[in-house]
A and B are shown apart, each in its own frame.
Chain A
């Protein structure tokens, strides 16, 4: 338990809480980006360098920006009249607290049965080999998934253009 981990954890949690708590969505997204960065730092500490950089690139670089755009499109930056939180926000908070209690209790009671003994760091090459070797099938599926998601996202955002009163959304009619 060193100072570095404490700092990382603090940044990460603070960003997360701020992202959840802040009223202005744009601010919240920025806080989220901070939190992502904290997580990336934790990866680096854990010895997964590639993952840490990937995290920074994808999350802080891509996802956060994407969200900012979405906020701007939906005019989510303005604070609404009814508040940002749901009427019974405390229920959600309570449940979250409960979940945290359970998970924390589980984690703390786990103990460390294996300390970081014969741990050898892994290079990016090894990672790539295992990706195209052992996990190649999963990688293919992921590719298809990404393609499908891309097409789906485009279709969703685009088909509504000429049809404002459409009821394509969900199966709520039944």
Chain B
């Protein structure tokens, strides 16, 4: 076990190396690149499973291993350690990330088969997988942040993978910058935490920043109003999570990110990367709850409200979208909101349970959507699809499983159990009932938009220009991952039911006991009945509204347009959030840039020019003074001297008489001088 932890670094490093190598490979080395990436990730997966087994064996113990990275100051505080942790949370996340990732890698083999930049794609995917694996197993906040940023980079590269499309380029930039807003606040929280507590290791045998001693110190310090330092730092970290996990108000990048290839959407923007924010919150949960016993910490309240609002908001927007991937994107945002809600109200286990189940069925849904898009010659508008169940049975069935899981269809599907857990926790939340009702509304909306999508895409008859002849089922390399994911979407639910809350127990380090009676407790089903009703209501409304339209085989107006009071445009336009940014932040920045540039060009450069002019004037002045006064005087003196010299030289004309005259004159003068001087 201990020796095993030392070798865990292989898990993220293998895909990283694969990324580095395939980055250097020529573009034609398609097989090499794909083989390397998939092989390394498979190896990572195996290692992850072994780690998972190891931690399971040891009953959820926490194992650490670290090394000194660099020294920047005196003492222990001045040493930056990097470390990784093997505990239930990281182990289960490792398995999930590498497992889902592996399936998506395999799927990409088929999906991207015809792309010119195939090798680059696998390079980026491997980079992403490595970074994400590093993120989840990191035991240091700095290491986590580094992987966090690398994940962002991989996301940037993959969204902009089809770089010739201006929309893709813009979306990539938008994603990077929007998430960077959150990242920078996160960075500040990191710096604050590190600077204040002197450590950035989560667990360090009692001196880590998530352990009692440090937490107590943090709680003691009050910063603003009544907030303790731990809460403020928690809030800053949460800002990072908001950016990465697409919570309000930084969610705008996630739908645009669908410009990337569909496997990317599945891997990054559904299953794994966007869950990094949730994971971060789960990782630092001890920090968030640190404080007096029995008091709900303010950060958790913020998280709950943000999560709940995001869940409903995104679900509502998803209702009116026409693009199959965009619907799923908003659905992802909404589900991430649920996760946050679950974390805030129910603790790590609740949130992470939904994270894991969601990873399976959202990956499934995206891959299914990709299969559809692939088959229907890149058609993404659900109004132009239809009737696909006849030609794509495997996709249809698996997509249906995913859809039912997402809506939380009772009993059989994983989404039901994880969502129930969240709703339970919300219901029991002492602070406010608001998040519960938000969650419930979200459930209804989720059921509705998924039914709408399902019916329009697979039900009825084909519409638009998608002709039946060209539609074909995807190759096995794509369908097999779908089937695997579909079965996972069912199975994962059963490890976290109230009767046998194994996963929750695992995550919290307790032994789970099978107790059927708990399954039939009144409190369970009392609440479940309400949520089931919401699900059925949503599905029913969806069926009623769209079944007939789907059957008709002609593109029709969306019945949603009959909604009252301009609600439909609001939904379609995503409540104008993008537009709001477009008209506030973007012009503000442009204005600032403009003025900074103007300042530089006119004020500072102008001052410089003014100084130059003054200097020139002074120079000209002094030049004139020089020439007219100083130089002229000197010149004249020189001229006179030369002239007189010339005249004098005439005396030296070689005539003895002249010399003699000199001698005479000189004698006369000398004698007179001598005489005169002698007489004094």
Which residue numbers of A lie inside 8 Å of B, CB to CB? 86, 91-92, 95-96, 98-99, 101-102, 105-106, 109
Residue from B655, B657, B661, B672 within 8 A of A102 (CB atoms): B672
Q: How far is the CB of B205 from chain A (nearest CB, A)?
A: 108
5 contacts between A and B (CB under 8 A): A86-B657, A96-B664, A99-B668, A102-B668, A105-B672
A83 to B669, CA, bound (A): 30
Q: In the complex the two chains form, is B671's CB within 8 Å of A98's CB?
A: no
Q: In the complex the two chains form, is A91's CB within 8 Å of B661's CB?
A: yes
Q: In the complex the two chains form, is A95's CB within 8 Å of B657's CB?
A: no
A101 to B665, CA, bound (A): 11
A99 to B657, CA, bound (A): 15
Q: How far is the CB of B488 from chain A (nearest CB, A)?
A: 121
Interface flag for B675 (CB, 8 Å): yes
Interface flag for B667 (CB, 8 Å): yes
User: Residues of A contacting B665 with CB < 8 Å?
Assistant: 95, 98-99
- Write the chain B residue with the least CB distance to A100: B668
- Write the chain A residue with the least CB distance to B666: A95
A91 to B668, CA, bound (A): 14
Interface size class of B (residues with CB under 8 A): 10 to 19
Q: How far is the CB of B49 from chain A (nearest CB, A)?
A: 116
Q: In the complex the two chains form, is B661's CB within 8 Å of A99's CB?
A: no
- Write the chain B residue with the least CB distance to A101: B668
- Write the chain B residue with the least CB distance to A91: B661
User: Residues of B contacting A91 with CB < 8 Å?
Assistant: 661
A91 to B657, CA, bound (A): 10
User: Residues of A contacting B661 with CB < 8 Å?
Assistant: 91-92, 95
Which residue numbers of B lie inside 8 Å of A, CB to CB? 655, 657, 661, 664-665, 667-669, 671-672, 675
User: Residues of A contacting B657 with CB < 8 Å?
Assistant: 86, 92
Q: How far is the CB of B659 from chain A (nearest CB, A)?
A: 11
User: Residues of A contacting B672 with CB < 8 Å?
Assistant: 102, 105
- Write the chain B residue with the least CB distance to A97: B668
User: Residues of B contacting A101 with CB < 8 Å?
Assistant: 668
- Write the chain A residue with the least CB distance to B663: A95
Contacts A92-B657, A99-B664, A109-B675 known; list 12 others, CB within 8 Å.
A91-B661, A95-B665, A98-B665, A98-B668, A98-B669, A99-B665, A99-B667, A101-B668, A102-B671, A102-B672, A102-B675, A105-B675
A92 to B668, CA, bound (A): 13
- Write the chain B residue with the least CB distance to A102: B668
User: Residues of B contacting A106 with CB < 8 Å?
Assistant: 671, 675
Q: How far is the CB of A108 from chain B (nearest CB, A)?
A: 12
Q: How far is the CB of B505 from chain A (nearest CB, A)?
A: 126
- Write the chain A residue with the least CB distance to B661: A95
User: Residues of A contacting B671 with CB < 8 Å?
Assistant: 102, 106
User: Residues of B contacting A96 with CB < 8 Å?
Assistant: 664
User: Residues of A contacting B668 with CB < 8 Å?
Assistant: 95, 98-99, 101-102
User: Residues of B contacting A95 with CB < 8 Å?
Assistant: 661, 664-665, 668
A86 to B664, CA, bound (A): 17
- Write the chain B residue with the least CB distance to A88: B658
- Write the chain B residue with the least CB distance to A96: B664
Q: How far is the CB of A136 from chain B (nearest CB, A)?
A: 34
- Write the chain B residue with the least CB distance to A98: B668
User: Residues of A contacting B669 with CB < 8 Å?
Assistant: 98
Q: How far is the CB of B670 from chain A (nearest CB, A)?
A: 9
A101 to B675, CA, bound (A): 13
A55 to B664, CA, bound (A): 27
A102 to B664, CA, bound (A): 11
User: Residues of B contacting A109 with CB < 8 Å?
Assistant: 675
User: Residues of B contacting A105 with CB < 8 Å?
Assistant: 672, 675
Q: How far is the CB of B370 from chain A (nearest CB, A)?
A: 112
A91 to B667, CA, bound (A): 15
A153 to B668, CA, bound (A): 33
User: Residues of B contacting A99 with CB < 8 Å?
Assistant: 664-665, 667-668
User: Residues of A contacting B675 with CB < 8 Å?
Assistant: 102, 105-106, 109
A109 to B676, CA, bound (A): 12
User: Residues of A contacting B667 with CB < 8 Å?
Assistant: 99, 102
- Write the chain A residue with the least CB distance to B664: A95
Q: How far is the CB of B664 from chain A (nearest CB, A)?
A: 4
A101 to B664, CA, bound (A): 12
A101 to B669, CA, bound (A): 10
- Write the chain A residue with the least CB distance to B665: A95
User: Residues of B contacting A98 with CB < 8 Å?
Assistant: 664-665, 668-669
